[in-house]
Amino acid sequence: MRGLELFLVVGEKEMSNLINLAIAGSRLGNSPARKEPGAGRPAGHDIARKRREYQKKAQQASVLIASSPGSSLGITSKRAVLREGGRKVKETPLFALRHIVVSSRGVSLSSDLVAHCAERGIPVAFLDYRGRPYAHIYSPSHPLYRYSAAQAEASGGARGLYLARCFAEGHVKYSAEISLR
């Protein structure tokens, strides 16, 4: 009975820890038929594999995709919630949310969720049945929105004409330089 130790268990958490310890200890046996998942590989390999798994889960959690008609996207207690047919399909913490994709018609968005996305610069993309975007919702503070607004403003006046002339001159000079080589 070598290795037998007596414990005084104080609480449920401690009991759970001891059970996990006992299970882990039973896996350390010298059974030739049983191979450990990381046997023969350096410990860094297993750590890197776990890190990749967690990064993939975090990335999947940061994007909400509504792809069926009748779905609804909203906010419930600091979480973005996707519901289909009234039941929760996916929840993502608001701090982890990076993108929302609506790839079906008949999906409803709550105004609270749209306001949250606008405040934090989270893009909301709408895709048609072929997967091509037909609309985006951006905050006015989002860089893409500012660039688009500046381009639209510049396209109709003297500023737009000046930019077009500069682009054309640059193209002609570059083409001439390339053809002389």
Mean pLDDT value across residues 82-104: 89
- Provide the pLDDT for residue 154: 75
* Domain chopping of the chain, boundaries: 50-139, 140-176
What value does the mean pLDDT take over residues 152-161?
77
Report for 18-27, 46-55, 169-178: range of highest mean pLDDT: 169-178
Say if CB 46 and CB 37 are below 8 A apart. yes
CATH homologous superfamily of 50-139 = CRISPR-associated endonuclease Cas1, N-terminal domain (3.100.10.20)
pLDDT score of 34: 46
Segment 105-148, tens digit of pLDDT? 999 999 999 999 888 888 899 999 888 889 988 777 766 667 77
Which pLDDT score, from 0 to 100, does residue 31 have?
A: 45
Structure tokens at 107: 């999906």
Q: What is the mean pLDDT of residues 9-37?
A: 53
Count CA within 13 A, CB hemisphere, residue 91: 8
